[in-house]
Structure 1
């Protein structure tokens, strides 16, 4: 006879369940984008009933908003105003390979260009522009460069191995998902940004 589980063991762990849903959502949205991702597929990946997504997040849009907002919160720590621009770009180059689902999600959300999740992205980017202004004042790049446009160029640069994986492989002969590529690419991007300060 199998012993009965204690009531505490049968109780749901809401934080663990939410974390599983967010991880599954990151993989699903990263693979398909917001528009094509389905709540039932996210629930299947997480191993939960799809009604829990509505219960915890208010549905697909609420889940997406929470997922993207948490991603931007995590990345905000990289841009301390005292950290030189070259070092920040280097760190961002390593963000994608460390979390490929998040990197793909970032590319998808910009390809789809919808309003879903845009508030979190706008707030994050405004903070990044302020960081760029601080680094411009510190001499990391010339006064005649616009911080917002330079930020756009550098984010595109850091995202290139995921957004243009075939181009990266063709141009360098390296697998853009390999540690060798990431290290070499980060080094080259650091050198490029340091040239701006000369």
Structure 2
């Protein structure tokens, strides 16, 4: 029986390459990529419209997926919002590692907030609503309580003057990091620079670090 000749491409006349099915690693990565696309689309949608105004159909369209996948991976809009909160907390937790100086932690909050502008806007929508749109999962520790405990530890280690209240310091630093994103018109008038420009962010990040160093005893 004669050997079967490989099929040729009608346009090039060259042998066609056989299509290989994706290996196990590729199959495993596909859901991860899909989840990340959905999360990226969701934070933009929530940032623009808030939790109440966000639409699963628009999130799916942004991500280029079927809306049913959002229910499959995240159990609907509320589950998607919780997943976003966990993702942002992972970013913040990495920035505020105990081995990093407090001034660098505060400075990097500024950059992280600028790089993730939709996250800051999402927090603003949550504030306008008065209460978080989604309850915390009962098995998840309170993220802000953990962050405050870390500030208290740093104070005990001598990074913060003893007459300062760690809770008020933490609140002030959160506000300082978000100010260029949430109050750009104010920043523009005070500093006479575009708050999303590289020049402003470099200078602001440096000044925040300097301020925090002055908080040490």
| Range of TM-score over shorter length | 0.7 to 0.9
Q: Displacement of 1:104 after TM fit?
A: 2.2
Give the structure 2 partner of residue 181 of structure 1. 200
What SS does the corresponding residue of 2:71 show, helix, strand or coil? helix
Are residue 33 (structure 1) and residue 50 (structure 2) matched? yes
Q: Displacement of 1:56 after TM fit?
A: 1.0
Cα shift readout 1:75-109 (whole Å, capped 9, x = no counterpart): 10111223222111011111022222223223333
**Distance of aligned partners of 1:5 and 1:29 in 2 relative to their CA distance in 1, 3 Å threshold:** farther
Q: Check conservation: 1:28, 1:42, Cα contact below 8 A.
A: yes
Unaligned runs of 5+ in 1: none
Give the structure 1 partner of residue 5 of structure 2. none
CA distance in 1, matches of 2:19, 2:56: 31
What RMSD over aligned residues (CA atoms) do the two structures have, in Å?
2.5
Unaligned runs of 5+ in 2: 1-8, 11-15
In our comparison, the structure showing a higher alpha carbon Rg is: 2
Are residue 130 (structure 1) and residue 110 (structure 2) matched? no
What SS does the corresponding residue of 1:196 show, helix, strand or coil? coil
TM-score, structure 1 as length reference: 0.88
Q: Check conservation: 2:41, 2:59, Cα contact below 8 A.
A: yes
CA distance in 1, matches of 2:142, 2:90: 10
Q: Displacement of 1:117 after TM fit?
A: 4.6
Trace 1:87-102 onto structure 2 (pairs within 5 A). 87-102=104-119
TM-score, structure 2 as length reference: 0.81
Higher relative contact order (CA 8 A, sep 6+): 1
Cα shift readout 1:89-137 (whole Å, capped 9, x = no counterpart): 0111110222222232233333334333553797221121111111111
Q: Check conservation: 2:126, 2:132, Cα contact below 8 A.
A: no
CA distance in 2, matches of 1:112, 1:6: 51
Q: Structure 1 or 2: larger helix share?
A: 1
**Runs of 4+ with >6 A deviation:** 1-5
